[in-house]
Amino acid sequence: MTDWLIRNAELVNEGRRFHADLRIRGQRIDEIGNGLNARAGEQVFDAAGLWLLPGMIDDHVHFREPGYTAKGDIASESRAAVIGGITSFIDMPNTRPATLTQDLLEDKYAIAARSSLANYAFYFGASNDNLDAIRALDPRKVPGVKVFLCESTGNLCVSEPAALEGVFRDSPVAVLVHAEDSRIIHANLDRAKAAYGDDIPMRLHPEIRSREACFQSTKWAVETARRHGTRLHVLHVSTEDELAMFESGPIAKKRITAETCVHFLLYGDADYARLGGKIKCNPAIKAASDRDALIRALADTRIDVLATDHAPHLESEKANPYTSCPSGIPLIQFALQSALECVFRGDFTLERLVEAYAHAPTTLFAVEGRGFLREGYFADLTLVDPAKPQIVRREQIVSKCGWSPFEGDTFRASVAATFVNGSLVARNGKVLDAPPGTRLAFNR
Ligand SMILES: [Zn+2]
């Protein structure tokens, strides 16, 4: 494989921005310094004017394989990821079959070993009756257990109180929750159906999957985690109301952490008029005031991790009336660029974005050898051109579903190049011939 010398980049890492050169030898970062000279056989990448970031680790994606591969698969969505500067992903268990046994988990790893351009890991799913399998998980091999506290795509809801308590009490790995209260949602939905039939206006989605449903469920999860000392990670926080339950500070010191997703930083309820079912997702995108509060909480570390919740559906499905329009948005290809818009707007710094999208997930799961620009670490790298705008057009979309909520939007920055394990895997929106990514290891 080619060794690289990346010259004249502006590195962003561990709270600092500085100009330096970075040498890649084999799969790893060999040297970071100024005035490095190319050695024989090394290829030089002139990165003058570019930002060099640790490759983003997206800890919340739905790549749909196995079982829903018309919407997306690990090959297609990992290509979209690396084009967008995301070098590792952790995928959710609500596939078909759902990832509820060790064998099914290893089946997914085997698919990824053949087909994923990015590095990968897979969560284990909780059900009403697989606590013994959860107890037996190896923390070095499995990042966490995903618990759906309500119905969403794939219907993995854990409804038995004893089963839920058991997961919080006994899981040897982090417990990740989708926190919304089913009873509240069903009551709201019944009221809306009585008024509108199946054709409920999309703008009512945040009133059906309401802030109260989020608040009550997150409150239950946080209280239960405190009682058992669980390592809890609350996924896709979407309301201002929930933020009081989280504390700011370094992620390494926390037992309870929070994630939000790019769409909650970009959209508010006014956007349903323009984008309709395209931005229908669970939990729902809520008010502009929630968006502003989530931005502040990401900036001040009450929210630790930024992810996508990339969840592709077919465009035809998304055009359905409310009750048959599936929830979820394809985001991963443009997630970094869309989050950079928040940086350009002054919502938070570039250093903070890198922390939330690369360092924090690395620390949360003790990902081995990635997530930072450090000598000896894997060369998972993203080069961003902050002065090259991109208008999103349909023909650029690599996600299998073939559409994006961002079509027609202009991003101020572009992803110039992505390296995974020292190989240049994508450049200027095109995937290159490169070896598959590798399985993430967890150093704990
Ligand atoms: Zn999700």
Per-residue pLDDT tens digits for 11-47: 999 999 999 999 999 999 999 999 999 999 999 999 9
Annotated catalytic residue within 290, 309, 380, 385: 309
Q: Which residues are CB-neighbours of 421 under 8 A, at least 6 positions away?
A: 27, 119, 378, 379, 380, 435, 437, 438
Cα 279 to middle of ligand 1, angstroms: 14
For all residues of the chain together, what is the average pLDDT?
A: 97
Pairing of strands 144-148, 174-178: parallel
Pairing mode, strands 381-385 and 305-307: unpaired
pLDDT tens digits for 139-164?
999 999 999 997 666 567 888 889 99
Q: In percent, how much of the chain has pLDDT > 90?
A: 96
Question: pLDDT tens digits, residue range 276-298?
Answer: 999 999 999 999 999 999 999 99
Instruction: State phi, psi for 198 to the nearest 5 degrees.
Output: -80, -20
Return residues with CB closer than 5 A to ligand 1 (ion): 309
Domain 3-52+377-431 classification at class level: mainly beta
Q: How far apart are CA 389 and CA 412, in angstroms?
A: 4
pLDDT digits (tens, 9 = 90+) for 189-217: 999 999 999 889 999 999 999 999 999 99
CA distance 328 to 303: 21
Distance in Å from the first CA to the final CA of the chain: 30
Q: Indicate the residue type of 36.
A: L
In angstroms, what is the span from residue 441 Cα to ligand 1's centroid?
22
The separation between CA 389 and the C-alpha centre of its own chain, rounded to angstroms, equals 23
SS3 for the chain, per residue? CCEEEEEEEEEEECCEEEEEEEEEECCEEEEEECCCCCCCCEEEEECCCCEEEECEEEEEECCCCCCCCCCCCHHHHHHHHHHCCEEEEEECCCCCCCCCCHHHHHHHHHHHHHHCCCEEEECEECCCCCHHHHHCCCCCCCCEEEEECCCCCCCCECCCHHHHHHHHHHCCCEEEEECCCHHHHHHHHHHHHHHHCCCCCHHHHHHHCCHHHHHHHHHHHHHHHHHHCCCEEECCCCCCHHHHHCCCCCHHHCCEEEEEEHHHHHCCHHHHHHHHHHHCCCCCCCCHHHHHHHHHHHHCCCCCEEECCECCCCHHHHCCCHHHCCCCECCHHHHHHHHHHHHHHCCCCHHHHHHHHHHHHHHHHCECCCCCCCCCCECCEEEEECCCCEECCHHHCCCCCCCCCCCCCEECCEEEEEEECCEEEEECCEECCCCCCCECCECC
Q: What tens digit of pLDDT does each residue of 245-281 get?
A: 999 999 999 999 999 999 999 999 999 999 999 999 9
pLDDT tens by residue, 348-379: 999 999 999 999 999 999 999 999 999 999 99
Q: What is the distance in A from the centroid of ligand 1 to the CA of 152?
A: 9
| Per-residue model confidence (pLDDT) at position 90 | 98
Cα 307 to middle of ligand 1, angstroms: 10
Mean pLDDT of 163-182: 97
Average pLDDT of span 219-233: 98
Distance 328 CA to ligand 1 centre (A): 8
Domain positions in the chain are: 3-52+377-431, 55-365
CA of 33 to the centre of ligand 1 (A): 39
Ligand 1 center–CA 36 separation, angstroms: 43
CATH of 55-365, one of 3.90.420.10, 3.20.20.140, 3.65.10.10, 2.40.50.140: 3.20.20.140
Concerning whether 269 is annotated as a catalytic residue, the answer is: no
CA-based nearest residue to 202, from 292, 329, 333, 330: 329
Q: Tell me: the pLDDT tens digits for 96-117? A: 999 999 999 999 999 999 999 9
pLDDT recorded at residue 1: 83
